[in-house]
A and B are shown apart, each in its own frame.
Chain A
Amino acid sequence: GENVEQHPSTLSVQEGDSAVIKCTYSDSASNYFPWYKQELGKRPQLIIDIRSNVGEKKDQRIAVTLNKTAKHFSLHITETQPEDSAVYFCAASSGAGSYQLTFGKGTKLSVIP
């Protein structure tokens, strides 16, 4: 089955700096890659996603890049703010036509004011 590795597990940045979280996946047939943000004690919420026919997608301060050849994708947050502090999860669909998402173990991002 699909295996998703996420790095780093923790990340501290100064307010205003950029943060980058990286994920690798194992199944070359995977074609959907969402990122979720989870605040303490809350539900995961989708912040951005990318599909395999696109190399990069941006939404204001958040961007995701996908390299299908290397089987990795990354989340970029620019101009970080204290409210960006949370746990971020990447996920990959488990192969072509699959309904299943396989999640990474998460990155705890702390933005220091």
Chain B
Amino acid sequence: NAGVTQTPKFRILKIGQSMTLQCTQDMNHNYMYWYRQDPGMGLKLIYYSVGAGITDKGEVPNGYNVSRSTTEDFPLRLELAAPSQTSVYFCASSYSMGDTQYFGPGTRLTVL
């Protein structure tokens, strides 16, 4: 199993550009999550999904969108990138609620 994979590893965007961060898991997990990690801070939840077709906002959803059309994939969309979205983005998945969350390797995004 590859576990949780994310692409790209690094990306530089200009202000106002858009992009999609990809996340795929091959563990047949129902629950998937997107976090952002700013320097010296813990992880903050952006969006989560409890199954295909079901998504909900986390603590910091503004400026982001998600979709979940399959169990495996949970892409994160940034529209109109802003410098405040410069961060490391981690995708995670878990089998059920309150179960271990497995993290992907992260995407380091810089918005200039």
Which A residues contact B (CB, under 8 angstroms)? 1, 4, 6, 31-32, 34, 42-46, 49, 51, 89, 91, 93, 97-106
Contact = CB atoms under 8 A, between A and B. Distances in A.
Contacts of B100: 34, 46, 49
Interface string B35-47: 0000011111100
A44 B90 contact: yes
Given A43-B106, A99-B31, A103-B44, 14 more contacts: A4-B42, A43-B104, A46-B100, A51-B98, A89-B42, A91-B42, A97-B97, A99-B97, A100-B45, A101-B45, A101-B101, A102-B59, A103-B42, A106-B42
In the complex, which range does the number of interface residues on chain B fall in? 20 to 34
Contacts of B43: 44, 89, 101, 103
A1 B58 CA distance: 11
Nearest to A90: B42
A88 to B, nearest CB: 11
Interface string B78-112: 00000000000010000001101111111000000
The SS class assigned to the B binding surface is loop
Contacts of B45: 100-102
B50 A99 contact: yes
A109 to B, nearest CB: 15
Most chain-A CB neighbours within 10 Å: which of B40, B42, B97? B42
A104 B42 contact: yes
Nearest to A93: B98
Contacts of B102: 46
B48 interface: yes
Most chain-B CB neighbours within 10 Å: which of A4, A44, A46, A93? A44
A57 B97 CA distance: 20
